[in-house]
Amino acid sequence: MGEVVATIKLMPESPEVDLALVKENVEKSIPEGAELHKIEEEPIAFGLVSLNVIVVVDDAEGGTEKIEEIFAQIDDVASVEVVDIRRLM
């Protein structure tokens, strides 16, 4: 079984959300079996900035579901969406 790199977009509830706090909560909530690679900020519009969380997980059925569920529980996160998955070679 290999590994995949997944990019998961976290959309904050409003432009006033403290992204540093959201990033800190993301770092704390990475489950066992997953590895946080990087967190990037992506400007959307009107001061709203999303976070693209890049994680490495096992290439198994439901590989990102657990992480998505955990990220959806983080305060001030309005939505969670997997935007890209690539197999590691």
Report, in angstroms and rounded to the nearest whole number, the Rg of the chain calculated over CA atoms.
13
Quick one: pLDDT at residue 28?
Answer: 95
- What residue has token string 């690539």? 86
On the 0-12 / 13-18 / 19+ scale of CB atoms within 10 A, 48 is middle
pLDDT tens digits in sequence order for the chain, 89 residues long = 689 999 999 999 999 999 999 999 999 999 888 999 999 999 999 999 999 999 999 887 777 899 999 999 999 999 999 999 999 87
**Which domains occur in the chain, in start order?**
3-87 (3.30.70.60)
pLDDT value of residue 62 = 75
